[in-house]
Amino acid sequence: MRYNSFRYIIGRTARHAFVWIAILFAIFPALFVIGTSFNPANSISTTSIFPASPTLANYINLLFSTNSSFPVWIWNTLKICLITSSISVFLCALGAYAFSRFSFRGRRIGLLTILLVQMFPQTLGMTAIFLIMTWFNKTLPLLGLNTHAGLIFVYLGGAIGFNTWLMKGYFDTIPRSLEEAAFVDGATHFRTFLSIVLPLARPILAVIFIIQFIATYSEYMIASTLLKGDNMYTLAVGLKLFVGQHYDDRWGPFAAAGVIGSLLIVAVFYSLQNLIVSGLTGGAVKE
C-alpha cells in the first residue's frame, strides 16, 4: 500500500513538473519580447525579462510619432483582415450549404477537388499570382498590384477549400426538419439559409472567421510581394522594416509593435471564445 502511494506521489509530481516546464517553455519567448519592448536600448543582447530601467518610449514613438507608419499598418491590416474574413465566411457558408443539402452531379468530385487543391500552399503559385495581378494591373487597376482590393482577392482564393469542408461538417448536424417546416410555409432555400441555418451555425461561423482572420493577419509572403510603399504595408510586412538592415536594427520598437499586434489577436479571440469550442466540435459527430 505504501509502495503504491509512493508511486502515485512520484507520478503526480512528475506530471505536474512536466506541465510547469512546458508552460514556462511556452511563455518565456512572450515574456522576453515584452521585456524587450520596455528596454530603452535597441538591442536584444542586453535584454532581460525584467529590464533594469523600463520605459514606454518605444510604445509612445510607435503610436504618436509623426514619422511612424505603425498606425497606418494597423489600420491596413484590420481593414484587410475584416473584409477578407467576412467575405470568406459568407462564401464558405454558401458553398458548404450547397454541398450539405443538395444532391447534384459532381458533388463528391467537387468536394475531393477542393480538398486536393487545398493540399498545395498558396505560396506555391506565387509566380502565377504575380502574373495574374500584373494582368489585372493593366486591365482592371482596382484589383492590380499594390492595391488592398487585389490582396483581398488573392486571399479569398486560398480561403475557400478547407473552410468549406469544416463548415459542411457542421451543417450536416443541423436537422433538415427545421428547413422542411419552413418550406411548408413557403420559404425558399435561400430564405431558410439566411433565417434558419446561419443563426444555428453561429459557432462554426465564428471559428471560420477567427481562423481566416489570424491567417490573414500574420501572412507575410504574398503581402510583401504584392504591396509596395509604407502607406500600403500590412503589419507583418511593415515590421520587417525595423530589422531589415543589420546595422540599423530597432529591436525595441519591433518588440513593442509585436506586443500591440498580438493584443489585437487576443481581443478578437477573447470576444469569440464562447463560440469556438462548440464550433470546432459540432461537426465532429454526425447524428
68-282 to CATH, choices 3.10.20.30, 1.10.3720.10, 1.10.1200.10, 1.10.10.10: 1.10.3720.10
- pLDDT per position as a tens digit, 81-129: 999 999 999 999 988 888 888 887 878 888 788 777 777 777 777 888 8
CB atoms within 10 A of CB 93: 24
Overall pTM > 0.85: no
- pLDDT per position as a tens digit, 8-67: 788 888 888 999 999 888 888 888 888 888 887 776 666 667 777 778 888 888 888 878
List the end-to-end C-alpha distance of the chain, in Å, as a whole number. 46
Residue 286 has pLDDT above 50, yes or no: no
Nearest by Cα to 234 from 140, 85, 226, 37: 226
Backbone φ, ψ for residue 11 (5° rounding): -65, -45
Q: Where are the domains of the chain?
A: 2-55, 68-282
pLDDT at 40: 78
Q: Are 219 and 77 in contact (CB under 8 A)?
A: no
- pLDDT per position as a tens digit, 209-258: 988 998 899 899 899 989 988 889 999 998 888 876 655 567 888 888 88
pLDDT at 2: 55
pLDDT at 141: 84
Burial class, 98, CB count within 10 angstroms (exposed 0-12 / middle 13-18 / buried 19+): middle
DSSP the chain: -HHHHHHHHHHHHHHHHHHHHHHHHHHHHHHHHHHHHT-SSS-STT--SS-SS--SHHHHHHHH-TT--HHHHHHHHHHHHHHHHHHHHHHHHHHHHHHHH---TTHHHHHHHHHHHHTS-GGGGHHHHHHHHHHHHHH-GGGSTT-HHHHHHHHHHTTSHHHHHHHHHHHTTS-HHHHHHHHHTT--HHHHIIIIIHHHTHHHHHHHHHHHHHHHHT--HHHHHH--STTT--HHHHHGGGGSSGGG--HHHHHHHHHHHHHHHHHHHHHTHHHHHHHHHHTSS--
* Total residues found in the chain within this entry: 287
Identify the band that residue 285 occupies on the pLDDT scale cut at 50, 70 and 90: very low
